[in-house]
Amino acid sequence: MLHTLAFDADDTLWHNETHYAETQEAFRALLRPFHDDAWIDARLHDTEMRNLGRYGYGIKGFTLSMIETALQLTEHRLDGAGVQQVLDLGKAMLDKPVEPLPGVADVLQALAGEYRLMLITKGDLFDQETKLARSGLGVHFAAVEIVSEKDEATYAAILQRHGIPAAAFAMVGNSVKSDILPVLALGAQAIHIPYHLTWAHEVVEAPADSPFPVLDSIRDLPALLASW
C-alpha cells in the first residue's frame, strides 16, 4: 500500500526552467556579435555536459559554464565587463523569487494528512535549501533529500535509508529521465507531470513497455491517488 509520496522540486513544485530560458536568451544577446543562436546554444550545452562532473547541477555551475563558453566563443576577447555581465546573469537567477506552480500549496496540504511526503531533488545544496525555504512549502515534507544525481542507485539508497519498501513509494516529477524511469526500475510507482520547457539533458523517450500516469496538472494528483 502506498504510504510515501515524493516530489521533485524544480518545475514540479516551482518554476525553474523558465528562469534558465530567460537567462540563456540574455546570454545569446551578449554573444550575437560573434555567433548565431544555434551555435551559442550548442556550445553552451556541450560545456555544461563536460562540467557536470565538476560542478554538478545548479545555477552556480551553469554560470561558470556560461563564462567558459563566452571566453571560448569570443576567443578570449570578452573583457572584464563582459564577464561581469555573465556573473550578473547568474546572480539574477539566484535572486529570483521562488514561485510555486498553480495548485501546489493546496495539493501538498491536502496530501500531507494521508501520506508521508518527501522532497527529492538534485542540484546545489545551498541553492535548493534556500529555494525550499523561500517557497514556504517546506512545512509539508517529512524528509528532504538533495542529491547530485537522480538515478536508480540514488533512489535505492534513499529508500533503504528511510526504510521504505519500493511497493509503498511513488515519485512525482516532470522529468522522465530523472523522476520516472529509475523509480519504475526499482518496482516503485511514478507519476509524470510534464512542464512546458525541458532541459535537453533531461529529454528521453520512455520505453513503450513502461506505462505510467501522465497528468496535466498537479491539481489532478489527489483524484489519481484516490482511484488507486
Every domain of the chain with CATH number 3.40.50.1000 lies at: 4-14+98-227
pTM: 0.82
Long-range CB contacts (< 8 A, 24+ apart) of 108-116? 108/7, 108/13, 108/137, 108/140, 109/140, 110/222, 111/5, 111/221, 111/222, 111/225, 112/140, 114/225, 115/2, 115/3, 115/4, 115/5, 115/225, 116/3, 116/4, 116/5, 116/142, 116/143
Write down the architecture of domain 4-14+98-227 according to CATH. 3-Layer(aba) Sandwich (3.40)
Chain position carrying cell 523569487:
97
> In this structure, what C-alpha cell is assigned to residue 86?
555573465
pLDDT 10s digits, 74-91: 999 999 999 999 999 999
Please give the mean pLDDT across all residues of the chain. 89
Over the stretch 21-45, which tens digit does the pLDDT of each residue have? Answer: 889 999 999 999 999 999 999 999 9
Q: Which CATH class is domain 17-95?
A: mainly alpha
Domain limits, CATH 1.10.150.240, in the chain:
17-95
